[in-house]
Structure 1
């Protein structure tokens, strides 16, 4: 174990881990929302994220930007980022809604067993990823250099870039907005009512199908936001982009307490940070192992995750 590498780069590793964890957290919200209401693990959510990455890149290409373009002026960068964010959220949200309507709703109406939902989710995931793979000929798609990274904050041996700050701030704002929406609005009360007791909520006039469609769309929108942050951080996307990230986002949701919105935030940030520290201690090839070992240890003592499962209980 290389403790010198960890302590000498501790600040840098932590800030990079928090930025990566913020993407995990946004991604994890889709798993948490669907599980909190339906008790369903939507394994196709990774592909909802993946199509969002392509949605943003294709929107930029429609505006004449590609990986060979020069970095635009600041004012235009803001416009392009907003266009990319709206495109990614719209594509991911629409994909999630179509999945709910085509794949899951017919099963719900037939009272299908849980196993049928899981198999359908895996099948939908494969169909989406392979369809995009065939369309792109399995080649990565580069994104335009919209943000020129530079250090904004520097103290001791730690530097924080403008991109890291932007990723964390956008993720926090979106997660706060979702938390307020679920906790304070009329539609959010409907979500919490269905999560707590769907039959009683239906008797009180809550439209279950509409609420379920809403949570899929909300999860898709958050995945779309995570997708554009991923694009900015990685610089390209490909048809299998959602697989590895989806596993880690699901782990983040479980770590924080799947079904708990704030747990997704905590789990994502913690997982990203642990990956950063682990890469210094054991080498980058051991990064996923470290994160998942910590996940297993925590679940041995806290089976419901750090904050527990709560979209229905804290949810009430």
Structure 2
């Protein structure tokens, strides 16, 4: 354990830089007047969660919230970082080749406007001694949202593994399904004028959770229950097959294009600043934190104070013994898969409404990272899943902010490798045998 803590300390000391590339930010902001005639206010820049070549700017004009996304040939510090490849807006989606070519011609002949959130808006005064610490605090706030996504999905992995000793690799695809359904529902709410109405958003979340919970239940009832006594790698192979089937099914039904829902709860709150840098938080970030905390507390209460929770703990200790004393193992496992599917849907909804850019492949890498978070925290441990998600979110966000973004995933999975070598049971997991 001491060795792991020393390795963690060494890793965090390394995280001490490049955030959003200023040149990419300025170039993307220069494109906004091509789509807007009114002055731009409250512009805020972020990078896409999955493709770090994409810079997205949320802004307000004429009292309405809009966004523009620019994809470059390379991420920050990489070759091609200022070569624009594609542009999308909340009104048009990704521009077709002809419109994009016309936009490139427009930017060559159009001088930059001073009301389009120019580069001066990024740094308003010389840095002070507090600026690095404020930037650090901003990364902690940004990491909290990422940690919520990983933590929620890691809970689904850990609940299933705790009771079966098997990893359902198709859980990431339930996140993708949740993200796609949320994106489509958000588009419908936008057309109805209810995009920022909290009860409507909550209703969408409940419906999506119900759908993916039913998908999780069906996975167990139709597939994994039949393989429960199998002592080979067949369940793992079947899970990979389910993952591919979900990906291809969604691709054939909805195509391979990205969905970019309009941002919701995008009001920005300035927390603290020194003139050179201001720490901000969005209403959506606060809502995500509150939602994740509430769901975790609800799950903890279910696991500790309900008959299902007692049955789950009994099956976790020894499935055969639990069955002998009258526990309905099949029902307990099915509910566990349903809960995992519902939590995966919440993670997908966060990805869709906060990050955007969801497609049929969204759940693949997210699923593996959430599995890494579950292993780091101690797969089988509910608190460990949230701890692992928080740790992975911090490492990813800090690395993206201070170092070359291209190596972010290498660092994340390198951390997983260290834990598998030196502490396979994770931070909060306990080495134990399983009774079948």
Instruction: Please give the TM-score of this superposition, normalised by the length of structure 1.
Output: 0.89
Equivalent of 2:220 in 82, 94, 100: 100
Q: Conserved in 1, the CA contact under 8 Å of 2:384 and 2:427?
A: yes
Which position in structure 2 is the counterpart of 1:22? 148
Q: Determine the C-alpha separation between the residues in 2 that align with 1:155 and 1:190.
A: 51
Alignment CA distance shift 1:312-1:139 (3 Å): farther
Q: Conserved in 2, the CA contact under 8 Å of 1:263 and 1:306?
A: yes
Superposed counterparts of 1:78-97, under 5 Å: 78-97=198-217
Q: Deviations over 1:221-257 (max 9, x none)?
A: 1111111111121124211110111111000000100
Work out which structure has the larger RCO, using CA pairs closer than 8 Å and 6 or more positions apart in sequence.
Answer: 1
Equivalent of 2:425 in 300, 304, 307: 304
Superposed counterparts of 1:118-129, under 5 Å: 118-129=236-247
Which stretch has the larger CA shift, 6-15 or 259-268? 6-15
Q: Determine the C-alpha separation between the residues in 2 that align with 1:154 and 1:204.
A: 58
Report whether the alignment pairs 1:273 with 2:391: no
Which position in structure 1 is the counterpart of 2:408? 287
Q: Conserved in 2, the CA contact under 8 Å of 1:231 and 1:237?
A: yes
Alignment CA distance shift 1:73-1:55 (3 Å): closer
| Structure 1 residue 309: Cα displacement | 4.5
Which position in structure 2 is the counterpart of 1:165? 286
| Structure 1 residue 5: Cα displacement | 5.2
Which position in structure 1 is the counterpart of 2:163? 37
Q: Conserved in 2, the CA contact under 8 Å of 1:154 and 1:160?
A: no
Which position in structure 1 is the counterpart of 2:189? 65
**SS state at 1:271 partner:** helix
Q: Conserved in 2, the CA contact under 8 Å of 1:147 and 1:232?
A: no
> What are the ranges of 5 or more consecutive residues in structure 1 without an aligned counterpart?
none
Q: Determine the C-alpha separation between the residues in 1 that align with 2:174 and 2:431.
A: 24
Root mean square deviation, CA, Å: 2.4
Which position in structure 2 is the counterpart of 1:150? 268
**SS state at 1:40 partner:** coil
| Structure 1 residue 99: Cα displacement | 1.0
| Structure 1 residue 28: Cα displacement | 0.7
Q: Conserved in 2, the CA contact under 8 Å of 1:52 and 1:227?
A: yes
Q: Conserved in 1, the CA contact under 8 Å of 2:263 and 2:354?
A: no
- Greater share of strand residues, 1 or 2? 2
Alignment CA distance shift 1:310-1:2 (3 Å): closer
Report whether the alignment pairs 1:231 with 2:352: yes
**SS state at 2:271 partner:** strand
Q: Conserved in 1, the CA contact under 8 Å of 2:18 and 2:404?
A: no
Which stretch has the larger CA shift, 248-257 or 14-23? 14-23
Q: Deviations over 1:49-87 (max 9, x none)?
A: 1111122233344xx335xx597485xx11221122112
Alignment CA distance shift 1:127-1:204 (3 Å): same
Instruction: Please give the TM-score of this superposition, normalised by the length of structure 2.
Output: 0.65
Which position in structure 1 is the counterpart of 2:125? none
Q: Conserved in 2, the CA contact under 8 Å of 1:259 and 1:310?
A: no
Which stretch has the larger CA shift, 163-172 or 51-60? 51-60
Q: Determine the C-alpha separation between the residues in 2 that align with 1:70 and 1:107.
A: 45
**SS state at 2:280 partner:** strand
Count of aligned pairs between the two proteins = 305
Q: Determine the C-alpha separation between the residues in 2 that align with 1:120 and 1:235.
A: 30
| Structure 1 residue 34: Cα displacement | 0.5
Equivalent of 1:250 in 352, 371, 379: 371
Q: Determine the C-alpha separation between the residues in 1 that align with 2:315 and 2:298.
A: 20
- Greater share of helix residues, 1 or 2? 1
Alignment CA distance shift 1:148-1:311 (3 Å): farther
Q: Deviations over 1:272-304 (max 9, x none)?
A: 011111113322111112222233334433221
Q: Conserved in 2, the CA contact under 8 Å of 1:141 and 1:238?
A: yes
